[in-house]
A and B are shown apart, each in its own frame.
Chain A
């Protein structure tokens, strides 16, 4: 995904879009900021990686530097590529280099043409596959760090958090369900816990900003379904309301 020079050539995928925008709930609630350098890794049957904020040398009509968001899906049995993409996403220099490689393939005219429909987009997938193959002929070794079970958040600069994040990536790439992502928007344990509670599977979250100095487990507050029917609950509530009113009246009565 990238944008073109003109105002109306807004951010969009070059060529075919992913069938499901699986990262959208995170972005919509502001849990990740795709305008910033973020990583989102989805585990499960079809692991996928999103890396946003990959810088281009291209600029738009307002001279704002354009960026790419790269979404690579169907990464089953490709843990090495997942590792490489995450390593690139976590390292500003690698990100910059990858942006330059993308720019070499997708120059300004090509991008503008693709986004306005005058240049065919079919070659995009082939170009990207070639580019990824060339950029990542060898992959980083699997993380030897200890995994932390369940949902947790940690500082992006923390050694333990980063190690545990990479270890979680291994499990996600192997098909374990869950999400691992960085966040430029979440800053507190409470916020991260809320974001994790919105997901059906465990989350590992690296906070770029905020006050965390160590890895913190995220425990959602247990929600116990009530056995009372709405009518019972209403009647009970009215009863409690009456009791409170009596207590309040007693409180206020002059002695």
Chain B
């Protein structure tokens, strides 16, 4: 019975693997904001759970205050102290004319795990009792994730010009640890049959290096090359562990779009590597938040869902006569990605939640919402990528 869980609690998982202070919470905020804009008019919304929403709200509020003061304070953003599970849903609301008692909103849940960056390092992890206790759960989440999101501090990569600075990149970006985690994740993807596997390499704080979002930088090719060189081992590990299975997406993201690195400072404090600090400032008057390429993450998730759904439909059609008999049990079967996929996209989630007691009007409303959600998923997934974004071909 240990294999049985409620599929309703099985969201689509994303794991974030990045060092301490790289800007993971800021990235999540940008992903939600840009996806929200792209969903405008589709009848589908991206919603965060109450606690996730409040964290994001607090961060947005701090940014708005900083914009009003025209003084960006990177130091105001504090690092995570423990693990945090961010819960997000794509929800299709019932059509406007539907009476409140007949409304059925259909949703697909995603959960994104963040944890203190320091835990990536096995030495740090072994020193921390909390990390040791919590790490198995983190690893489990990573292994069951359809997407591994690797945030990269672009400034660290791009501003390392002298040998000692370049040598420090490995430690500051946790390259060894990211490679090890990528290997672990890819291995689990291989073992999970035909479930999707998307590795997103996401340089953040890219505003200075691009000229397509209000800046004048011309260094996009150099950033691309540096990411390719620096994360080559991680990408190769993914390919070696799960040949032909992993889609590698390169997505340089502007999390603010209006904050630019002014002065990079490398500190030599006598350690094995240098520490890096950046001084940032707002650009534009007044500065305007304009995230770029952040929606790539949700788009890739939707693509995973849609492509897997297409493959699954054939199988489901074959089993159609058996399907109704299985509807209820499926709720209790642990089926990972595909169990959740069928459960949410076939509308079983709302059916099971209501124990089948629905009026005809509710049934119609539910089917409408289901169609809307599927259509929005398709629309998001077929939308063209931001020109910055590339899918890297392995081999």
Contacts and interface: CB of A to CB of B under 8 A. Distances in A.
B39 interface: no
Interface string B57-91: 01000000000000000111111111111100000
Contacts of B33: none
Nearest to B327: A237
Contacts of B128: 12-13, 17
A187 B54 CA distance: 8
A28 B82 contact: yes
B356 A237 contact: yes
Given A61-B277, A230-B328, A238-B325, A34 B74 contact: no
B2 interface: no
Contacts of B79: 3, 10-11, 35, 60, 64
Given A7-B21, A31-B51, A251-B360, 12 more contacts: A8-B118, A11-B80, A12-B124, A12-B128, A13-B128, A27-B81, A30-B51, A61-B275, A67-B78, A187-B50, A187-B54, A247-B359
Contacts of B119: 10
B328 A17 contact: no
B317 interface: no
Nearest to A207: B54
A62 B360 contact: no
A24 interface: yes
Contacts of B171: 8
B84 A186 contact: no
A35 B74 contact: no
22 contacts: A5-B275, A6-B271, A7-B20, A8-B118, A11-B81, A24-B82, A27-B84, A29-B51, A30-B51, A30-B84, A59-B75, A61-B267, A61-B275, A63-B277, A188-B50, A191-B50, A209-B54, A230-B328, A234-B329, A238-B325, A240-B357, A248-B360
A240 B83 contact: no
Interface string A88-128: 00000000000000000000000000000100000000000
A244 B116 CA distance: 49
B190 to A, nearest CB: 28
A139 interface: no
Interface residues of A, number: 55
Given A8-B20, A13-B129, A33 B55 contact: yes
A233 B54 CA distance: 39
Interface string B93-131: 000000000000000000000001111010010011111
Contacts of B21: 7, 60, 62, 64
A68 to B, nearest CB: 11
Given A30-B84, A34-B82, A11 B118 contact: yes
B355 A21 contact: no
Nearest to B171: A8
B228 to A, nearest CB: 24
Interface in A44-95: 52, 59-65, 67, 69
B40 interface: no
A247 B130 contact: no
Interface of A: 1, 3, 5-13, 17, 21, 24, 27-31, 33-35, 52, 59-65, 67, 69, 117, 184-188, 190-191, 194, 209, 230, 233-234, 236-238, 240-241, 244, 247-248, 250-251
Contacts of B310: none
Residue picked from B121, B128, B171, most chain A C-beta under 10 Å: B128
Contacts of B116: 10-11
Contacts of B20: 7-8, 10
Contacts of A117: 127
Given A7-B172, A11-B118, A191-B50, A241 B75 contact: no
B194 interface: no
B269 interface: yes
Nearest to B51: A30
Nearest to B352: A237
Given A11-B81, A11-B118, A34-B81, A65 B75 contact: yes
Interface in B234-278: 267, 269, 271, 275-278
Contact of B364 (A33, A238, A248): A248
B328 A248 contact: no
Contact of B355 (A52, A60, A237, A247): A237
A65 B355 CA distance: 51
A35 B81 contact: yes
B52 interface: yes
Contacts of A13: 128-130
- A-B pairs, top 5 by smallest CB distance, nearest first, are A10-B118, A30-B51, A17-B129, A234-B328, A63-B75
Contact of B324 (A21, A34, A186, A241): A241
A6 B168 CA distance: 13
A11 B86 CA distance: 20
B151 interface: no
B75 A30 contact: no
Contacts of B86: 30
Contacts of B74: 62-64
Nearest to A61: B275
Nearest to B53: A187
Contact of B78 (A1, A64, A234, A241): A64
B51 A62 contact: no
Contacts of A12: 118, 124, 127-128, 130-131
Contacts of A248: 360, 363-364
Contact of B124 (A10, A24, A62): A10
B75 A62 contact: yes
Given A10-B124, A244-B363, A185 B275 contact: no
